[in-house]
Amino acid sequence: MKSLGFIEMQSVTAAIEALDTMCKTANVELVTWERKLGGRLVTVIIQGEVAAVVEAVEAAVAGALKTPCIHAVIANPHEETRRMVALSAGKFGWAVNGNNGSNKESTDCGRNNKYLSEI
């Protein structure tokens, strides 16, 4: 079962570093990200099996360049939660499968060219 992990950082650079840490720590993939306040507040959303997402988020928090504003793991997201995350991913033109939230354009965390071009 797919779970969602969220980490909110105070800069784009810190968020990218946290994403890199999460992807290297466990078998997770990027679902989407949100930038607010001109990139000064960035939320990264990942998905994977519950244990992998927990491990990835904890590793990112422990090794973060800046202290995260907040972080969370949702083990069994409700359909409405998945829909909201899919809407966020849709801003980038990424196809997100509603059943498991899988990003069809990117099967490996951080390797989506559209994502990288947005940075």
Q: pLDDT digit string (tens) for 29-61?
A: 999 999 888 778 999 999 999 999 999 999 999
The Cα–Cα gap between 119 and 104 comes to 20
User: Which pLDDT tens digits describe the chain residue by residue (119 residues)?
Assistant: 589 999 999 999 999 999 999 999 999 999 999 988 877 899 999 999 999 999 999 999 999 988 999 999 999 999 999 999 988 888 777 655 544 444 444 444 544 444 444 43
pLDDT of res. 101: 46
The pTM of this model reads 0.77
pLDDT of res. 104: 42
Exposed, middle or buried, 79 (CB in 10 Å: 0-12/13-18/19+)?
exposed
Dihedral of alpha carbons 35, 82, 2, 58, sign: positive
Answer for the pair 9, 40: CB distance below 8 angstroms, yes or no.
Answer: no
Which helix (H) or strand (E) segment holds residue 23: the answer is helix 12-25
As a dihedral over the C-alpha atoms of residue 6, residue 115, residue 93, residue 105, rounded to 10 degrees, the angle is -90
- Cβ-based neighbour number of residue 42 at 10 Å: 23
The Cα–Cα gap between 84 and 111 comes to 23
pLDDT of res. 50: 96
Domains of the chain: 2-118 (3.30.70.1710)
